[in-house]
Amino acid sequence: MQLTALAPFSCATLDVLLAERGIDAVLATSAHNARYLLGGYRFFLYDRSDAIGASRYVPVVGYVAGRAADSFYVGVPLEDWDTDVHPPWVPEVANVAWGSVEAAEAAAERIAQRGLRTGTIGIEPAHLPADAMQALARALPHATFADATQLLDELRRVKSAGELDLIRRGSTAVVDSMLATFAGLPIGATTSEAVELLRQEETRRGLTFNYGLIATGSDHGRAPCGRRIAAGAVLSLDSGADLNGYVADVARMALAGEPSARHVEALAHVDAVQQAARDAVVAGRRGGDVPDAAQAFMATLPDASRMAFQVHGMGLLTHEAPRLMSGGAPPGPATHRDRPLEPGMVLSIETHLADPQLGFVKLEDTIIVAADGHEAVADRGRGWNSLG
């Protein structure tokens, strides 16, 4: 009883999701789901690289349906350093496994101890190494393995106050970092130099830099490279960074000069699509209305054929539940299209106009679903910012 209160997620919700799929226990092995089930904990030593010698770091969080007190965690021996000072909520912390096969064996042993040798075990097939899967199947030959990816995504779809706080702080810091980058960037700098400056600004604000997508001039390629930002050219900056694993993903524009009427119009159109999407964000409204409203409005614009809109849920992953549209990049099923939006869902909405002359014009904003509408996080710097 007390343990379900300690758990950083709703055990009741997870139990329902497991019961619906007939899963007896789940083994979370992805960085994001292990972190989620442990309330933010991730062993700092392997956060950047999970290669360990000739194997791989595979943290395993085990959760047995309806039996939170049987939850466990399998880490590496050195991990006592971290769990001693940041103890996870699970009753059993077993820092015993070096590498993927040992981790799977230690998890299988605990599944067997909990009487689930013939049970149905949920796994993450894209985030479980092939040799760990083989070790699981070998150690639990009478168990059935089921894909738990979608149910764990579902579990994460509504954010807690603590998660929303990280998302707000992260998005705000990314926008601040972009504005500082624009202000500090001389005309003639390369796009690689611009992204390195952004990385410095984000790091200075406590974030872990993930990537900077950047386009300048009439070129729509978005990889940082030796391309120089010329006088009069547009600059599109789109960056991901995280705070304790929670992602911020925002895009802003700058110009190396004064905006022309065409510049102003292009960005106004992009913004208008973003506003059309925002207007559809309120708890209780059908999720699919967000992309539908944006795309219907976009279709009325003269540049529609060169524009694109995308919406994705965001949290520990850049693209997660709620999933309101298919298509986009990456493609995926629109599992939440015909379901109501819920307070605490986080949406990233993004619109671009890829103009052959003007260049790549884009805005991306973070929107939190609220009972009476929505909250636009870090809603600043959305016009033409000046360079240098």
**1, 142, 261, 331: residue in contact with a second copy (rule CB under 8 A):** 331
Task: Report residue 149 as tokens.
Answer: 């990816």
Q: Which of residues 257-296 bind a second copy (CB under 8 A)?
A: none
When the beta carbons of 3 and 52 are compared against a second copy, the nearer one is 52
Note whether 129 binds a second copy by CB under 8 A.
yes
Kindly report each contact of residues 4-8 with a partner whose C-beta sits within 8 Å and lies 24 or more positions away, as own/partner. Answer: 4/68, 6/89, 7/39, 7/68, 7/71, 7/89, 8/36, 8/37, 8/38, 8/39, 8/40, 8/89, 8/160
**Which lies closer to a second copy via its Cβ, residue 173 or residue 376?**
173
The contacts of residue 156 (CB under 8 Å, 6+ apart) are 33, 36, 315, 316, 320, 321
- Which residues contact residue 19 at a Cβ distance below 8 angstroms, ignoring those fewer than 6 apart? 65
Binders of a second copy among 28-47, rule CB under 8 A? 30-32, 44-47
Contact yes or no for 101/55 (Cβ under 8 A): yes
| Residue 338 beta carbon to a second copy: minimum distance, rounded to whole angstroms | 18
Please pick, from the candidates 37, 132, 235, 367, the single residue that binds a second copy as defined by CB under 8 A. Answer: 132
**8 A C-beta contact, residue 348 and residue 314:** yes
Residues 149-208, interacting with a second copy (CB under 8 A): 149-150, 153, 196, 199-200, 203-204, 206, 208
- Give the separation between CA 330 and CA 334, rounded to whole angstroms: 12
Whether the CB-CB separation of 14 and 42 falls below 8 Å is answered with no
Nearer to a second copy by Cβ, of 207 and 254: the residue is 207
215 or 298, CB closer to a second copy? 215
Segment holding 295, helix H or strand E: helix 289-299
Q: Which is nearer to a second copy, 11 or 103 (CB)?
A: 103
Q: Among positive and negative, which fits the CA dihedral 248, 368, 31, 288?
A: negative
Alpha carbon distances (Å) from 228 to 172, 180, 185, 259: 28, 19, 11, 19
Q: Which is nearer to a second copy, 34 or 293 (CB)?
A: 34
Residue 196, strand partner residues: none
CB closer to a second copy out of 121 and 376: 121
CB of 61 to a second copy, least distance (A): 16
Q: Least distance to a second copy from the beta carbon of 86, Å?
A: 7
**Closest separation between CB of residue 249 and a second copy, Å?**
11
Q: How far is the CB of 236 from a second copy (least distance, A)?
A: 12
Query: Of the candidates 4, 10, 210, 385, which one interacts with a second copy according to CB under 8 A?
Result: 210
Q: Which two tokens stand for residue 321?
A: 């539940």
Minimal distance in Å, beta carbon 271 to a second copy?
A: 24
CB of 322 to a second copy, least distance (A): 13
Q: Which of residues 50-109 bind a second copy (CB under 8 A)?
A: 51-56, 76-78, 80-82, 84-86, 98-101
Q: Which one, 32 or 374, has the nearer CB to a second copy? A: 32
Pick 159 or 199: Cβ nearer a second copy: 199
Residue 70 or 238 with smaller CB distance to a second copy = 238
298 vs 28: CA distance, rounded Å: 40
Q: Judged by CB under 8 A, how many residues of this single chain contact a second copy?
A: 72
Q: How far is the CB of 146 from a second copy (least distance, A)?
A: 13
Site string for a second copy, 345-374 (x = CB under 8 A): ------------------------------
State how far the Cα of 385 lies from the Cα of 363, in Å rounded to an integer: 12
- Residues 223-252 interacting with a second copy (rule: CB under 8 A): 223-227, 240, 242, 247
In angstroms, how far is the first alpha carbon of the chain from the final one?
58
Token duo for residue 325: 């549209």
Tokens 């409005």, residue located: 297
